Chain A
Amino acid sequence: MKILIIEDEKELVKSMAEFLRQENYVCETAYSAHDAEDKILLFDYDCILLDINLPDGSGLRILEKLKENNKSDGVIIITANNSLEDRVLGLNLGADDYLAKPFFLPELSARVSAIIRRKQFGGSNKLAFREINIDLPGKIVKVNNTEVDLTRKEYDLLMFLLANKNRVVSKNAIAEHLSGDNAELLDKFDFLYSHIKNLKRKLADAGSEDYIKTVYGLGYKFSV
């Protein structure tokens, strides 16, 4: 899987690339619009992470360029300006998703994997992790052919953890992924603990191994 990160803040690029490489993605970087234009014309990427505010012009130009050349690379716009107009404009120009700064790297990872799955397999794809099988369009989770009845939040939680396999995901990142702005109401994480507990119990009842490890004090890690 090839990812192009177009962003002028080198420190941010460094973290993003390093985090995504842990998921075995190949990450290339471009620090300017000019750089990026050369790369998108020469190569095909599975996903492009595009900062709108680049020193040498608006990132929206890159979107136009992709469209002109009939490129079907998945694009996630990353911007400091969380304005509706930018969002609508970006999505109209063919971007697939939109992420406002600041963001959690696990959230970025989850969005990237969602885009790649969608681009690669079209509508009917399945995801498997050992004995866990997930039918993505139907949102059906099975453990060794036993269907696991998950609530929407539990399903989202599982997908989020799966997209960040082998990496520590903080409680804050999970809470924000599940509840968005409402996460700020959560002084403690009791809400999150009960979702984790239920998900673990349901998976175990269906015969799955316990992959959701608690990383003490930090959060959780989905790993073998």
Chain B
Amino acid sequence: MRLLQVTLRSSLLYSLVVVLISIPVSIFSVRELLNEEVDEALALHTDQFLNHIQNFSYLDDLETDLEVVDQLSYDVDIKPSNGRAPLKDYQSVSIYDSAEQDFRPFRELSSGVDIKGKHYILTMRMSLVDNNELLVAIGLVQSALIILLATGLLLLNRSLSRKLWEPFYRTLNQLKAYQLDKNEPIRADRTNIIEFDDLNSTVSHLTDRNRKVFLQQKEFIENASHELQTPLAIFQSKLDMLMQKPAITESEAQIIMELEATAQRMSRLNKNLLLLSKIDNEQYNDKEEMELSSVIEGMLTELRPMADVENIIITTTTQHLKIDANKTLIEVLLTNLFHNAIRHNVREGRVMVNLNKRTLTVANTGKAVNMNVEKMFDRFSKESMNKNSTGLGLAIVKRICDTSAYTLHYTFENGMHTFTIVF
């Protein structure tokens, strides 16, 4: 549910409650107001009527006339009274209306008057608005109000969510598209809304800081690998010197070779780490056009003798494909794929390299891997006990594909590991 829908729901609910409460309140107050007005009018009419009577007090048969008035006038009753009548008495009554054949509400004012020494009760009467009608009228008005409110709020909400929240969604989309390793900081325009400007500046600040930390870390990896090269060189040179000593025993020779193998492993690890951070630091940007099939054939010619040791047969079917890419990266990519296919193979296995249109597949026989396919491309995730494997080869392949926008795909079917790259 969107934020504006929540606020809309609350305001709609609140308006509904207010409108519903307002119906009886309105009826009550309108009724009171009307009664007051009618009462004033009744008092006035009574006064006027009595004034008129005073003017006609010379008439002898006034008594009869009053009787006639009582009979003829619907709104006026004047009847002789025996005792002392109340001075003034207002009350609401319901009287049967023969024309409408229904009881209708009336307001009455009964007053005791003396005319020519005789006591009368004068009752003035005015019709009131029917309660039901009032209810219906007010109900209609309030319903119209609800409808107007609801549609108004809905329309407002719609235009608001589009306009008001636009900067928010813009920032959100930027955040969704944000990649730490890409060189684009998040920069939002000023919106004149304090909250959004606050959000945007916080987001830029956060991403800038993350990026800075990320760059420092990348730089650190590169520097660390770089700094290790010299001690490694010293180490190797000392081993080379040690080998020249006369009368080295068999067991000493074995230790020296083990040290050398370890030095080689460190050196390879370091070289690959350096390569990875250089790819990350975009140090391989120069592109040139190259014929991929001939690069592949050239490499495989060098690799065949290595594969022959394990009686692995390499077969290729390639079509011509010219690509625009960084030569070093392409060589590293292919070397790592081919090395992987030969290293994780079986004796008398096969490697099949196929370049068709823009798709390169490198398939090799081999044992199934237990690790997750996703994990396979992570750094230092390796299954083999092979000491020459650094666990970085496929991570480098993945990095190169990512930075060059090639798609990389791996499957294992019928005992064949297949890597597919679309250039």
- Interface residues, chain A, with chain B CB atoms under 8 Å away: 9, 11-12, 15-16, 18-19, 22, 80-85, 100-106, 153, 167-168, 170-173, 179, 181-182, 184-188, 190-191, 215-219
| Residue in B closest to A88 when the chains form the complex, CB atoms | B286
Q: Which of B236, B248, B264, B283 contacts A83 (CB 8 A)?
A: B283
B241 touches A19 (CB 8 A): yes
| Residue in B closest to A12 when the chains form the complex, CB atoms | B234
Beta-carbon contacts of B249-271 to A below 8 Å, as 1s and 0s?
Answer: 01001101100110110011001
Contacts of A153 in B (CB 8 A): 305
Tell me whether A105 and B240 are in contact in the complex, defined as CB-CB below 8 angstroms, given that A185-B306, A190-B309 are known contacts. yes
Beta-carbon contacts of B199-235 to A below 8 Å, as 1s and 0s?
Answer: 0000000000000000000000000001101101111
Interface presence of B69 (CB below 8 A): no
B271 touches A170 (CB 8 A): no
Closest approach, in angstroms, between the C-beta of A156 and any C-beta of chain B? 13
| Residue in A closest to B386 when the chains form the complex, CB atoms | A187
Contacts of A186 in B (CB 8 A): 306, 309, 388
- Interface residues, chain B, with chain A CB atoms under 8 Å away: 226-227, 229-230, 232-241, 243-244, 248, 250, 253-254, 256-257, 260-261, 263-264, 267-268, 271, 274, 278, 283-284, 286, 302-303, 305-306, 308-309, 328, 335, 339, 342-343, 386, 388
Most buried by A among B234, B237, B257, B388: B237
Closest approach, in angstroms, between the C-beta of A97 and any C-beta of chain B? 16
B233 touches A184 (CB 8 A): no
Contacts of A102 in B (CB 8 A): 229, 232-233, 235-236, 263, 267
How far is A170 from B335 in the complex, measured between Cα atoms in Å? Answer: 25
A sample of 17 cross-chain residue pairs with beta-carbon separation below 8 angstroms, ordered by A number, consists of: A9-B230, A9-B233, A12-B234, A15-B237, A19-B244, A81-B226, A84-B284, A85-B283, A105-B240, A168-B243, A170-B240, A182-B302, A182-B306, A215-B243, A217-B254, A218-B248, A218-B257
B230 touches A217 (CB 8 A): no
Tell me whether A172 and B250 are in contact in the complex, defined as CB-CB below 8 angstroms, given that A15-B237, A82-B274, A187-B388 are known contacts. no
B257 touches A181 (CB 8 A): no
Contacts of B343 in A (CB 8 A): 185
Closest approach, in angstroms, between the C-beta of A216 and any C-beta of chain B? 6
B257 touches A217 (CB 8 A): yes
How far is A84 from B306 in the complex, measured between Cα atoms in Å? Answer: 27
**The 4 residue pairs across chains A and B that have the minimum distance between CB atoms:** A217-B253, A15-B237, A80-B229, A102-B233
How far is A190 from B312 in the complex, measured between Cα atoms in Å? Answer: 14
Tell me whether A184 and B241 are in contact in the complex, defined as CB-CB below 8 angstroms, given that A102-B236, A217-B254 are known contacts. no
Most buried by B among A84, A185, A217: A185
Closest approach, in angstroms, between the C-beta of B222 and any C-beta of chain A? 10
B240 touches A15 (CB 8 A): yes
How far is A9 from B286 in the complex, measured between Cα atoms in Å? Answer: 33
Most buried by A among B236, B278, B286: B236
How far is A153 from B257 in the complex, measured between Cα atoms in Å? Answer: 23
How far is A186 from B310 in the complex, measured between Cα atoms in Å? Answer: 10
Contacts of A182 in B (CB 8 A): 302-303, 306, 335, 339
Contacts of A101 in B (CB 8 A): 229-230, 232-233
A22 touches B244 (CB 8 A): yes
Contacts of B236 in A (CB 8 A): 102-105
Closest approach, in angstroms, between the C-beta of A90 and any C-beta of chain B? 16
A167 touches B244 (CB 8 A): yes
Contacts of B238 in A (CB 8 A): 11, 15
| Residue in B closest to A78 when the chains form the complex, CB atoms | B233
Other A-B pairs, 5, CB within 8 Å; known A80-B233, A172-B261, A184-B339: A19-B241, A19-B244, A185-B306, A215-B248, A218-B243
Contacts of B241 in A (CB 8 A): 15, 18-19, 105
Closest approach, in angstroms, between the C-beta of A71 and any C-beta of chain B? 26
Tell me whether A170 and B306 are in contact in the complex, defined as CB-CB below 8 angstroms, given that A19-B237, A101-B233, A184-B388 are known contacts. no
Q: Which of B233, B257, B268, B305 contacts A170 (CB 8 A)?
A: B257
Closest approach, in angstroms, between the C-beta of B274 and any C-beta of chain A? 7
Most buried by A among B308, B309, B339: B309
Contacts of B257 in A (CB 8 A): 170-171, 217-218
| Residue in B closest to A8 when the chains form the complex, CB atoms | B230
| Residue in B closest to A185 when the chains form the complex, CB atoms | B306
B240 touches A106 (CB 8 A): yes
Tell me whether A181 and B240 are in contact in the complex, defined as CB-CB below 8 angstroms, given that A15-B234, A102-B232, A191-B309 are known contacts. no
Closest approach, in angstroms, between the C-beta of A161 and any C-beta of chain B? 14
Contacts of A11 in B (CB 8 A): 234, 237-238
Tell me whether A185 and B388 are in contact in the complex, defined as CB-CB below 8 angstroms, given that A15-B238, A82-B271, A217-B250 are known contacts. yes
Tell me whether A216 and B229 are in contact in the complex, defined as CB-CB below 8 angstroms, given that A18-B241, A83-B278, A185-B342 are known contacts. no
Closest approach, in angstroms, between the C-beta of B223 and any C-beta of chain A? 10
Most buried by B among A19, A84, A218: A218
Closest approach, in angstroms, between the C-beta of B164 and any C-beta of chain A? 51
B237 touches A12 (CB 8 A): yes
B335 touches A181 (CB 8 A): yes
Tell me whether A218 and B256 are in contact in the complex, defined as CB-CB below 8 angstroms, given that A179-B302, A185-B339 are known contacts. yes
Closest approach, in angstroms, between the C-beta of A184 and any C-beta of chain B? 5
| Residue in A closest to B308 when the chains form the complex, CB atoms | A191
How far is A177 from B230 in the complex, measured between Cα atoms in Å? Answer: 20
